[in-house]
Amino acid sequence: MESRDGKDGRYREVSTALVAGGGFATRLKPITAVVPKPLLPLGIRPVVDYVIDKLEDFEVWFLANSYYSSLQAWASSRGVKAYITPVSDTLELKGALVDTYSLMESLIGFRDILYLSGNQIFDFNLKEFVGRYQDQLLLGLYDVGDLELAKRYGVVRLEGSRVVEFIEKPEKPRGTLINTSIAVIPPSVIKLVPEFLLAGRDTFYREGSFISWLVHEKSIEVLGVELKGSWFYLDWPDSYERMWKWYLKQ
C-alpha cells in the first residue's frame, strides 16, 4: 500500500503490518483464562480475524507471547507470520513495543510499518488512513464521546493535525479524542525504543507512554487523523458487550 512521502511528494510503500496480540488480559478474566483476547469470538470468528481481513495488501506479522499456544495455531491457520516471545521475557503491555523493535532489528529490518492492536474491530478505510502518512508517526484517533470511557485510553489534543498533548489513561481527561492503537510508524521512531526503555518512564513500557514521551520529552512531531465510523476496543467486559451489540446490528 502506498502513501505520499512528505519530503518530495513521491509515493513510498508501506507494505508491512504488525498486529499486536496483547498481554494476559487480566481485566477480562475469567473469560480469558484459557482464550486470549484476540481469539474471543465475535459471531463464529475470533476478533482478530476482522483485523486481518483488512490487511490483504500487506505482509502481516503477528506479535504475541507464548503463554497462549492457541495464538500460534491461529496465526498458522491464517498464513500469518508470527513473532512469539517467551512468557518469561514478556510483561503484560510490554510485548508490543519491545517486540516491534526486536522483530525489526533481528528479522525484517527497520522500515515503515502499519501497526494495529489485534484486540479491536472497526470499519475505517485503512487505505485512506495510510495515504495520510508523511514519514512522521501518524496516529489513528477516535472520539469516544464520553469522558469516563476516555479514561481507559491515551487522550489526545490536536492543533490542526499535530499532536500537542498525549496523556495516557488520565484520571481527569480534558477531551474524548483517543488513540486507537492504529498507527503508521517510521523507522526513525522505532529506533528510539531503546532510549525510551533506558529513560524508565514506564515500568510496563506501554505504547501510550512511549507516544507521550515522544511528544512531551523528545519533541518529536507526531500527527493524528480522526477516524470516522465505528470502533470498539476489547479491554473490559462492557466493551466486549458493546462490540457484540454492534456486530449483531450489522
What pLDDT does residue 85 have?
A: 80
Provide the 8-state DSSP code for 200: T
Instruction: Give the residue with greater pLDDT, 13 vs 17.
Output: 17
pLDDT of 11 above 80: no
Which domains are assigned to the chain? 2-249 (3.90.550.10)
pLDDT of 96 above 90: no
Contact 156, 165 (CB under 8 A): yes
Contacts for 225 with CB less than 8 Å, ≥ 6 apart: 129, 132, 138, 139, 140, 141, 161
Residue 142, Ramachandran bin (φ over 0: left; ψ between -120 and 50: alpha; else beta): beta
Contact 164, 158 (CB under 8 A): yes
Provide the 8-state DSSP code for 108: I
Contact 138, 223 (CB under 8 A): yes
Q: Which amino acid is at 12?
A: R
Contact 229, 120 (CB under 8 A): no
Name residue 103's beta-bridge partners: none
Residue 124, Ramachandran bin (φ over 0: left; ψ between -120 and 50: alpha; else beta): beta
Q: Which whole number is the average pLDDT over 177-182?
A: 96
pLDDT tens track for 104-134: 999 999 999 999 999 999 999 898 999 999 9
Q: Which amino acid is at 127?
A: K
Q: 221: how many CB neighbours lie within 10 A of its CB?
A: 12
Q: Which whole number is the average pLDDT over 12-41?
A: 78
pLDDT tens track for 186-224: 999 999 999 998 887 665 557 888 999 999 999 999 999
C-alpha 80/C-alpha 181 separation (Å) is 20
Q: Which amino acid is at 164?
A: V
